[in-house]
Amino acid sequence: MADLGIPHNTIEVIQKYHFNFQKKYGQNFLIDTRVLNKIIAAAEITEDDCVLEIGPGIGTMTQYLAERAGEVVAVEIDRNLIPILEETLSAYENVTIINQDILKMDVKGLAEERGKPLKVVANLPYYITTPIIMGLFENHVPLRNVTVMVQKEVAERMQAGPGRKDYGALSLAVQYYAKPEIVANVPPNCFIPRPNVGSAVVRMERYETPPVQVEDERKMFAVIRAAFNQRRKTLANSLANAQELGISRERTVQALERMGLPATVRGEALSLEQFAELSNLV
């Protein structure tokens, strides 16, 4: 089977099927074998693994995964790609193609059926990167790791720490569930069609237990969201303005005092540990 990581092979398949890229699905196909090999290496795929690939496109990365994994489940939303995938992956008996929206799929059930945690690998559409990743984590899908291509700016936000301007709710959410690490930067010329921005491959190693103790996970994330909804305001004012929290400014100030923090502190200055402590106190 032709290696779809080589650009002219991808172009041949696109022309053969008269495939038109759908902007609504954010389709950019990877055409760089070095990047593909970096993704596979970062995900540490072995024949014991069941890999969930989100958005396989024409099956470029799926071929690489199928060579190494015990099983690959490829979930593609665009039904126009299904006949193409059936051809490009016909040589692989260990691949299951599912035509579905990953956001509506019972991924936890898929993992439970397999009886082991999944490894997730994907070249994610930029417009739904966050809902996909947070859906996997918040629904407590059994995962070993998640290795995904995302917009470079989003990858940097995932691993940002307190005090940095790209630090925010996404940084804290990802770092609560997993240890993120950027493993490769990928320029626009590695894709067809070329995106307008740079990309990066980020690997997230899932924690067995979160690194902080929190009484109510949902409440902590509600506090975090409120803190970053109005970044320029003090944390005490941001939480007081979030009516759904029902936390007075005075209560937040008292909690901050107990933590040894000034009443004027902003959310971007607090670490994940401090947010967990604040959430428990208020």
What's the pLDDT at 125?
A: 87
Bridge partners of residue 204, in order along the sequence: 146, 180
Kindly write down the DSSP assignment for every residue of 263-278, as one continuous string.
Answer: TT--GGG--HHHHHHH
pLDDT at 230: 83
Quote the pTM value: 0.93
Question: Sign of dihedral through CA atoms 196, 201, 207, 211?
Answer: negative
Residue 137 is predicted with a pLDDT of: 95
199 beta partners: 151, 186
pLDDT at 243: 87
- Residues 231 and 281: their CA atoms lie apart, in Å, by 21
Q: pLDDT tens digits, the chain, 282 residues: what are they?
A: 689 999 999 999 999 999 999 888 889 999 999 999 999 999 999 999 999 999 999 999 999 999 999 999 999 999 999 999 999 999 999 999 999 999 999 999 999 999 999 999 999 988 899 999 999 999 999 999 999 999 999 999 999 999 999 999 999 999 999 999 999 999 999 999 999 999 999 999 999 999 999 999 999 999 999 999 988 899 999 999 998 899 999 999 999 999 999 999 999 999 999 999 999 998
CA distances from 166 to 133, 152, 162, 182, 265 (A): 18, 12, 9, 15, 17
Nearest to 43 by CA among 134, 148, 155, 192: 148
Q: Does domain 217-281 have CATH number 1.10.8.100?
A: yes
User: Rounded to whole angstroms, what are the CA distances from 11 to 8, 156, 191?
Assistant: 5, 31, 11
The candidate with the shortest Cα–Cα distance to 84, out of 191, 10, 195, is 10
The pLDDT of residue 73 is 98
- Domain borders along the chain are 7-206, 217-281
The DSSP-derived string for 226-269 is HHHHTTTS-HHHHHHH-TTT---HHHHHHHHHHTT--TT--GGG
Residue 98: per-residue pLDDT: 98
CATH number, domain 7-206, options 3.40.50.150, 3.30.10.20, 3.30.930.10, 1.10.730.10: 3.40.50.150
